[in-house]
Structure 1
Amino acid sequence: MGELFNERGEDGELEMSLQEVPSGHWKSSLIIQVQPTNIQGKPFFYFPLRKKKNLLSEDTRERSRQTAISKKKKEGEMEQGSAFDLYLLPEDCISNILSLTTPRDVCRSSTVSPVFRSAANSDSVWEKFLPSDIHQILSSSSVSPSLPTFSSKKQLFLHLCDNPLLIDGGTKTFALEKCSGKKCYMIGARELTIIWGSSPEYWKWIPHPESRFSEVAELLCVWWLEIRGKIETRLLSPNTTYGAYLVLKFTNRAYGFEPLAEVSVKLASGTGGAEEGEVKSVSLNPRSLRSRNASSSEEAVADPPPEGPKERGDGWMEIEMGEFFNERGEDGEVVMSLMEVNCSICKSGLIIQGIELRPKENQPV
């Protein structure tokens, strides 16, 4: 039932018990050997601890106690299933353990103790959460000379989570997902293939104060709307499910988006192999955002409307184009597209910032 070290002397008492909490099941066939009781009516195995006489000196008793403790440690301290005090580990060892978890777990563990806090803030931990090609990414930044000096790898990590970095001549942005440390990219409108995008009578390129990029594409008038983008899978985090999102806005006079559009995200091999992926219909109509917010949950369940623009936290809207699992490594390519080719309706007032690729939520990291 257990063990104890008796050091209380005259004022201690030992009590032993066995309980099975009622769980709605009958018990049967257990045999208990009845023990004799003492004069107080208690079971024989319930007894007070009494010393008949103190025959040993204080020093002798202390040596006996230390010997018993040492023997106990040698016999059972490292047995399987026994408790182990993590505070006894060196800080470097704790750092190595934390580096095998996630940024979210490391931040939580920093509240355990000062030793864990020091280990959780070490560069050896946060360096593992930075991509292996981080120096190449930073060197390709369009604003690398103006980047702040970071006092730690943790500070650099958090900066990249909250401040997307312009790279590749200002045509893309790079960031890190805070909970997992996985890569996020946005492909700017200038890097996308927009049909008739270079024709000033159909599209115009303007700066926008809320854009990450120097300019965005504003639709003046087209009957055939087609936007495509692509990115190499080697740039993305491996073994990760990504979502692709068209980031957009509408002007106050936007019109012509009542017909549904088709979006797709397809994977293609770097050797020109066939693409694979799904095609789905979405609504570009900005009024669909207001109508979805106003509709009841019962109506949404009974007849769910097609996906449409959703509000983001940065003042823009986005439409999910699809998702894919990145496992191709160095030789794959992701191709994303949006098409609305109902040539009987002219479309106007759409503003495109780019296509964002980021890890999907609620997945193992």
Structure 2
Amino acid sequence: MKPDITNKLPEECISYILSFTSPIDVCRSKLVSPVFRSAADSDTIWGKFLPPDCYDIISNSSSSSNQLVASMSKTQLYFHLCNNPVVIDNGTMVNSFGLDKATGKKCYMLAARRLSIAWSNTPNYWRWRHLPESRFSEVAELRQVWWLDVKGTIETKILSPKTTYVAYLVYKFATPRYGFEKKPVDLHVELEQSDAGRTFRVFLDPSENIPQFSRERGDGWMEVKLGEFFNEHGDDGKAICSLREVDNYIPKKGLIVEGIDIRPKDIR
């Protein structure tokens, strides 16, 4: 029988070695032995997986979130941000910040108030309301329009480099609703200083005879893919995400927009 070297190495040494792997590898290592299980919970590991500017980003969250974060170990903070994104509001933008559990890379959701929505300040067309199931204080509910134009922009420098990101529209429908089963909308993502990107044409509210492109999230909202982009070094300027339907005069009503979720592509 071969000797078990995990009983020979100090736990601190194992933690140091594991810190050069990935979050998902560290979680798998817990199955190796009790020593690995203990070493895998070390702040030495999870502190390295936190983004370098993590605490600076969180400093723009609410005071209660800041106090909660201050009481956490780095291991606790990592998993807290994976499961409970914090809302950031520095006066010029409102979004939420979290981490991808498998990679530790940054995730952001741009709140509806952060988006450019045509006629959103005209009460006859849109109204702003609070929904308890939303992470943000307000969402945008469509009262009625003929042309739909929603756009979100994020600076690539705040995202993780060398990462393929996917942008999703996060939405649901009010009652009554109409117009979205009759005409598809155009979904598009592009980098400001790159190619034109790819446009998808989908039905947000498909009938029984039309494929379902959206999916239900764990938080009760729906999401549909707007597109994806590769963030090389974070110096590509801005990623622009849009939803448009301006080709006809079919009235539309009942769409509720929570925001645009931008997170690393799942490659598992």
User: 1:110 touches 1:120 (CA, 8 Å); kept in 2?
Assistant: yes
Number of residue equivalences: 263
- 1:1-365 map, 5 Å: 85-143=5-63, 144-147=65-68, 149-169=70-90, 171-257=94-180, 258-269=182-193, 275-284=195-204, 286-288=205-207, 291=208, 305=210, 308-362=213-267
Equivalent-residue separation in structure 1 for 2:256 and 2:203 (angstroms) = 15
Could you tell me which residue of structure 2 aligns to residue 53 of structure 1? Answer: none
In 2, Cα distance between equivalents of 1:345 and 1:194: 18
CA contact (8 A) 2:147 2:249 kept: no
Q: Distance in 2 between matches of 1:147 and 1:172?
A: 19
- Cα distance in 2 between the residues matched to 1:149 and 1:133: 15
Root-mean-square deviation (CA, aligned residues, Å) is 2.1
CA 1:216–1:224 in structure 2 vs 1: closer, same or farther (change >3 Å)?
same
SS of the residue corresponding to residue 16 of structure 2 reads helix
Report the alpha carbon displacement of residue 85 of structure 1 after superposing the two structures with TM.
Answer: 2.8
Query: Which one has the bigger strand percentage?
Result: 2
Instruction: Measure, in 2, the Cα distance between the counterparts of 1:339 and 1:306.
Output: 19
- Per the normalisation by structure 2, the TM-score is 0.91
Per the alignment, do residues 315 and 95 of structure 1 end up closer, same or farther by CA in structure 2, a change over 3 Å counting?
same
Q: Normalised by the size of structure 1, how large is the TM-score?
A: 0.68
CA contact (8 A) 1:241 1:323 kept: yes
Distance 1:277 1:91, change over 3 A: same
User: For residues 306-364 of structure 1, what are the alpha-carbon distances to aligned partners after superposition, in whole Å with 9 as ceiling and x for unaligned?
Assistant: 6633211111111100111111423421000110113321111110000001111125x
Contact 2:6 / 2:35 at 8 angstroms: preserved in 1?
Answer: no
Distance in 1 between the 2:203 and 2:148 partners? 13
Measure, in 1, the Cα distance between the counterparts of 2:143 and 2:80: 37
**Distance in 2 (alpha carbons) for counterparts of 1:358 and 1:275:** 20
Q: Which protein is bigger by CA-based radius of gyration? A: 1
Unmatched 5+ stretches in structure 1:
1-81, 293-304
Runs of 4 or more above 4 Å deviation: none
In structure 2, give the amino acid aligned to 1:327: E
State the identity as a percent.
53
Unpaired runs of 5+ in structure 2?
none
Distance 2:158 2:223 in 1: 22
- SS of the aligned residue for 2:192 comes to strand
User: In structure 1, the residue corresponding to 2:235 is in which secondary structure?
Assistant: helix
